Chains A and B, each alone.
Chain A
Amino acid sequence: MGETLIKVEGLSKKFCRSLKKSMWYGMQDISSELIGRRRGVDGLLRPDEFWAVNDISFELKRGECLGLIGHNGAGKSTLLKIINGLIKPDKGQVTIRGRIGALIELGAGFNPILTGRENIYVNASVLGFTKHEIDEKFDSIVEFSEIAEFLDTPVQNYSSGMKVRLGFSIAAQMEPDVLLIDEVLAVGDAGFRVKCMNRIHELLKSSALIFVSHSMPTIARICTIAIVMQKGQNICSSSEVSEAIDTYHSEFNTGERKVVGNGGAEIKQISINSEPKDSQPIIPFGSGLQLRLTLNIHSKYQTVGIRLAVWNQDQHPVADVVDENYRSFILENVAGSVSILAEIPTLYLAAGKYAIAVVVFDPVTINVICRMENAVSFIMGQHISTACDSYIAARWSKIAPSEKFNG
């Protein structure tokens, strides 16, 4: 335990944007490979090339888990491919001690005409198992996949979820020293996902893990280090995973401000904690925020209701901001310009980025007068990691043995 299993030093890789040029460079690279020349020694880019991975370095010991996070196209998968030995780096070096396993493609080599049983043997062979090993593990594969009754059905009649189950069950039998995982767990039903995560936790004990995911709660839960990649570069690497996740969130662009309504009201100004218009204040966990809002309301409305909805980055509404009696805030005797302050004393949301939508409505007819999406946004600071949207505090205590337990 504890020895360094992966060492990545100054790793870089260039890719080409244009297909035609890429094919031509491919021919050139093969030729220089054949005359034994080192590639990319000058470190220069040819026309239309860019660095897909740029100067990445890290080390990982057994039992450690590195989370790779970043937008689509940031170079995470390319990095995994180099570490997996599928493609060669243009600069730098990767040193790996022990066996490498990758949970990247599930069910590789499946032939749709063949039965599940036959395909288990094919896929496991592709993953490097010998016939003897497959015979030995066959039962646990079938048991894990929970599809025993369809074992002799052609795989083309499987649902996509069943194929994934079978694929994962086979791959999960690997016992690698270095494990690479790329987003595969975003599939299957909830029950199976839990099973997959548990299996990964088991594997983590005996391996060094590199994990690529867009699910920050998962990253926060299992990773011990995280690297945020942007355009191939490492823009933040930290053993404080929460710090890396904050960086990732803060570089996210919010959706566009979108206004719909009947023209009876207009939102002139809105800000959080009086910060300038497009800033994204970081709200420490448990702190509150003040939302200031200036409205222009048409004279035909004497009374309007105002509500705020808090949306997370997955475009999922997580909270409805109401008044202290948990009812809609009603503003009376308006018309003209009016400024409002909404004070939220405390926020116990999961870390991440949130956008606030403002809704102004007519309390009599419940018709929306004006609705502004992504009006302002803020970032909730890290707390202990959670897969839930929010925290609820409870008072916990031990029940004395003498008391009768009703429940």
Chain B
Amino acid sequence: MDEQRITIYTPDSLLIHPLRMVKEMLRDLVGSRELAWRLTVRDLSAQYRQTFLGFLWAIILPLANTLVWVFLSHSGVVNVSETALPYPVYVFTGTMLWAILMDAMNAPLQMVNASKSMLAKINFPREALLVAGIYQTLVNASIKTALLLIVLLVMGIHPGWGLLLYPIGMLSLILVGTVIGLAITPVGMLYNDVGRAVPLLMQFLMYLTPVVFAMPKEGMSATLFKLNPFTPLILTARDWLTGLTPEYLGYFIVINAIAIILLFMLWIVFRLAMPILIERMGS
């Protein structure tokens, strides 16, 4: 028999005992690893068992997107300025990396919403859902990257040693995506509006990020592109992937540092909000 753990539930905010709270957070995070892995295996195997094309779906959407943009720029419907890379490679890597960011962003709300009935009835470490979401994004992002690399090699682009740094770029995308996803989860669970509005906003933001368009050289749009926190993430990851030297490394590091701090704060918000959300969720 293990030692007798004493659990106390009161109406007090958990923030009153910050040390105890942090201790509990770490305990739950460690305690949730195994469950997170189980949930990941469950979701991934269910996801791939019910498709015929399997993991190819990870690449079909970005590929279709690339074809559309190559067609648009080729036919002159939109005018894209010169890029250092061949335009199809530019768009393809851009949309792939953006898709990784989106996956990471959607994961928390999606995991929590899919586990509503479990949340309402069973007390398990809630962190497991977040970690499982990150695991799944990681696996899917790795598959995407592998396919992307094959395409790059076919197109004659050689990544070089920069490829060794690419995992950092991928992790940054997942980190920032998770931070945004975690930020919208508490409100998103109460109001469905959030789940609808955010993709719309992100669609708009994508055009302010060098995903399909090249970095503008001057004007208002140049400033917007430069300020956009997603710009260094996409550019740096793409540069490492395609053998170029990253230009925005400083901003890239700043964004990551801020994201790590935000992640910890939002994790606290998530924990505090969970019981309140569960009582309003019913079962």
- Cα-based distance from A90 to B5 in the complex (angstroms): 23
Interface residues of A in 280-325 (CB under 8 A from B): none
Q: Contact at A130–B278, with CB atoms within 8 Å?
A: no
- Size class of the B contact interface (CB-based, 8 Å): 35 or more
Whether B276 and A33, one on each chain, are in contact in the complex, defined by CB atoms closer than 8 angstroms, is yes
Q: Are A15 and B279 in contact (CB under 8 A)?
A: yes
B9, A27: Cβ atoms closer than 8 Å: no
The answer to whether B273 and A85 have CB atoms under 8 Å apart is no
* A268 CB–B CB distance under 8 Å: no
| Complex contact B6–A89 (CB within 8 A) | no
Q: Which of B58-66, B96-104, B118-126, B176-184 is the contact stretch?
A: B118-126
Contact of A86 among B12, B123, B186, B280 (CB under 8 A): B123
Judge whether A210 is part of the interface by a CB distance below 8 angstroms: no
Interface-lining segment among B32-40, B196-204, B233-241:
B32-40
| B75 cross-chain contacts in A, Cβ below 8 A | none
With the chains together, A94 CA to B7 CA distance in Å? Answer: 8
Residues of B within 8 A of A97 (CB): 4-7
Q: Which of B4, B16, B124, B283 contacts A36 (CB 8 A)?
A: B16
Tell me which residues across on chain B come within 8 A of A22, comparing CB atoms.
280
Contacts A27-B187, A89-B10, A113-B50 known; A105 to B122 CB distance under 8 Å? yes
Contact B34 A36 (CB under 8 A): no
Interface status of A82 (Cβ within 8 A of chain B): yes
Q: Does any Cβ of B come within 8 Å of A205's Cβ?
A: no
Pairwise interchain contact A87-B275, C-beta atoms closer than 8 A:
yes
- Surface stretch bound by A, among B41-49, B81-89, B141-149: B41-49
Contacts of A13 in B (CB 8 A): 279
A33 near B273 with CB under 8 A, answer yes
A105 and B117 contact, Cβ closer than 8 Å, known pairs A36-B16, A93-B10, A118-B42:
yes
Beta-carbon contact of B7 and A85 below 8 Å: yes
* B11 interface hit (Cβ, 8 Å): yes
B-facing mask of A8-48, CB < 8 A → 1, else 0? 00000101000000110011011011111111110000000
Q: Contact at B42–A127, with CB atoms within 8 Å? A: no
- Please determine whether A102 and B122 come into contact, CB atoms closer than 8 angstroms: yes
| B residues with CB within 8 A of A | 2, 4-16, 34-35, 38-39, 42-43, 45-46, 49-50, 115, 117-124, 186-187, 190-191, 269, 272-273, 275-280, 283
14 A-B pairs with C-beta separation under 8 A: A27-B190, A38-B16, A39-B11, A83-B9, A86-B122, A87-B278, A88-B9, A88-B11, A93-B9, A96-B8, A100-B123, A109-B39, A114-B49, A130-B34
